């Protein structure tokens, strides 16, 4: 999603993860300032840890977009010194390579034609949109007890996840990752407690008075702050014209 990168130069303040990955999925409006956070990284790390994946010697990331950069940060946290990144356009991976350098992980960019040999890595992260990895399902190696994290959550299971699971791979879907952004949101808003998951964020969201928009620390998924709107980004929803800007936007 290009907004995750586009938004970064517009921020007044960025978390360490945002600065390293060059991507933000959460924008908090506080005191007229835009603060950027990357809660995807926390969600991905927790989803892996919940599946008892705490280390990876070798890793392969499918895709070279915003979520791929997040995956590199997570792999670095797991102690992985290098990762193979499969990109359909290896000549267009400059932003990802810069992120890898800031993160401190060696990223070896490889074309799709080389994909098969890398699917045996300890940890494979598919950071591709729905459908893009479907053609890989017949190529999944059998009898390799590795781990696949597929960030897709709908439709689920993906053909790749289904095949990998039948081959004995530990498979983690996108939903556990999606439901785990509580800690960075909690830190940022002082409302949610560390460790709470997205469902709590949603409860917080429903506390928003829809008529007045009161509650500037609420989580609002459907609206985007005016300053971002002025840049040409499309608001996802409506809010009353006289309502104050929302506290948090998830991109
Ligand atoms: N579960 C979660 O919590 C969670 C969190 C974040 C994101 N996601 C999901 O992750 C997916 C990717 O998001 P993103 O922000 O990383 O998107 P992105 O920045 O647009 O990156 C997508 C990457 O996939 C590649 N790609 C797209 N279609 C392809 C195809 N048909 N064949 C090969 N490569 C293809 C793109 O290649 P090019 O660069 O050549 O276009 C790009 O490298 C989205 O579906 C999003 O919903 C899930």
Condensed to tens digits (0 to 9), the pLDDT of residues 82-104 reads 999 999 999 999 999 999 999 99
Write down the pLDDT at residue 164: 98
Please indicate, yes or no, if residue 187 is contained in any of the structural domains: no
Position with higher pLDDT, 240 vs 155: 155
Tens digits of per-residue pLDDT, 101-140? 999 999 999 999 999 999 999 999 999 999 999 999 999 9
C-beta of residue 156 within 8 angstroms of C-beta of residue 177: no
Distance 191 CA to ligand 1 centre (A): 30
Residue owning the nearest CA to atom 11 of ligand 1: 129
Tens digits of per-residue pLDDT, 184-204? 555 555 443 334 444 334 333
Distance 134 CA to ligand 1 centre (A): 13
Q: Are residues 52 and 86 in the same domain?
A: yes
Q: Is the pLDDT of residue 47 over 80?
A: yes
Please indicate, yes or no, if residue 186 is contained in any of the structural domains: no
Q: Are residues 59 and 98 in the same domain?
A: yes
Q: Confidence class of residue 180 from pLDDT cuts 50, 70 and 90?
A: confident
Residues 44, 199: Cα–Cα separation, whole Å: 16
Residues 201, 186: Cα–Cα separation, whole Å: 9
Write down the pLDDT at residue 249: 62
Q: Are residues 76 and 168 in the same domain?
A: yes
Tokens 């600065």 correspond to what residue? 19
User: Cβ contacts of residue 5 below 8 Å, gap of 6+?
Assistant: 22, 23, 66, 95
Residue owning the nearest CA to atom 1 of ligand 1: 174
For 128, other C-beta atoms within 10 Å of its C-beta total 24
**In Å, what is the CA distance from 153 to each residue of 101, 174, 231?**
29, 4, 30
Domain containing 115 equals: 41-178
Q: Confidence class of residue 3 from pLDDT cuts 50, 70 and 90?
A: confident
Q: Among 101, 54, 62, 63, which Cα is nearest to 82's?
A: 101
Burial per residue of 156-193, b for 16 or more beta-carbon CB atoms within 10 angstroms, e otherwise: eebbbbebbeebebbbbbbbbbbbbbbbbbbebbebbe
Q: Are residues 54 and 102 in the same domain?
A: yes
Q: Are residues 25 and 72 in the same domain?
A: no
Tens digits of per-residue pLDDT, 63-78? 999 999 999 999 999 9
Where does ligand 1 bind, in terms of residues with CB under 6 Å?
1, 4, 40, 43, 63-67, 88-89, 92, 127-130, 132, 151, 153, 174, 177-178
Residues 88, 86: Cα–Cα separation, whole Å: 7
Tens digits of per-residue pLDDT, 148-166? 999 999 899 999 999 999 9
Q: Are residues 127 and 27 in the same domain?
A: no
Residue 108 backbone dihedrals phi, psi, to 5 degrees = -100, 110
Q: Three-class SS string for the chain?
A: CCHHHHCHHHCCEECHHHHHHCCCCEEEEECCEEEEECHHHHHHHHHHHHCCCCCCCCEEEECCCHHHHHHHHHHHHCCCCEEEEEECCHHHCHHHHHHHHHHCCEEEEEEHHHHHHHCCCCEEEECCCCCCCHHHHHHCCCCCCCEEEECCCCCCCCHHHHHHHHCCCEEECHHHHHCCCHHHHHHHHCCCCCCCCHHHHHHHHHCCCCCCCCCCCCECCCCCCHHHHCCCCCCCCCCCCCCCCCCEEEC
Please indicate, yes or no, if residue 110 is contained in any of the structural domains: yes
Q: Is 154 a catalytic residue?
A: no
C-beta of residue 41 within 8 angstroms of C-beta of residue 124: no
Please indicate, yes or no, if residue 49 is contained in any of the structural domains: yes
- Residue 1 Cα: closest atom of ligand 1: 15
Check which CATH number belongs to the domain holding 64 and give it: 3.40.50.720
């Amino acid at each position: 999603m290009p907004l995750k990168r586009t938004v970064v130069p517009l921020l007044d303040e960025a978390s360490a993860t945002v600065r390293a990955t060059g991507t933000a999925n959460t924008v908090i409006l506080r005191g007229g300032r835009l603060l950027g956070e990357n809660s995807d990284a926390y969600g991905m790390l927790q989803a892996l840890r919940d599946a008892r994946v705490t280390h990876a010697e070798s890793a392969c990331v499918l895709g070279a977009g915003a979520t791929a950069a997040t995956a590199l940060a997570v792999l670095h946290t797991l102690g992985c010194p290098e990762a193979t990144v499969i990109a359909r356009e290896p000549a267009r991976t400059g932003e990802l390579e810069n992120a890898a350098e800031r993160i401190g992980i060696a990223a070896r960019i490889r074309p799709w034609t080389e994909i098969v040999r890398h699917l045996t890595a300890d940890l494979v992260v598919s950071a591709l949109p729905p459908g893009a990895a479907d053609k890989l399902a017949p190529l999944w190696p059998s009898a390799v007890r590795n781990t696949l994290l597929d960030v897709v959550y709908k439709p689920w299971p993906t053909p790749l996840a289904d095949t990998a699971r039948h081959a004995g791979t530990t498979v983690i879907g996108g939903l556990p990752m999606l439901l785990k952004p509580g800690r960075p949101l909690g830190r940022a808003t002082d409302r949610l407690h560390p460790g709470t998951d997205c469902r709590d964020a949603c409860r917080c969201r429903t506390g928003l008075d829809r008529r007045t928009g009161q509650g500037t620390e609420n989580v609002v998924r459907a609206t985007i702050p005016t300053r971002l709107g002025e840049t040409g980004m499309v608001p996802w929803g409506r809010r009353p014209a006289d309502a104050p800007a929302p506290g948090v936007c998830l991109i």
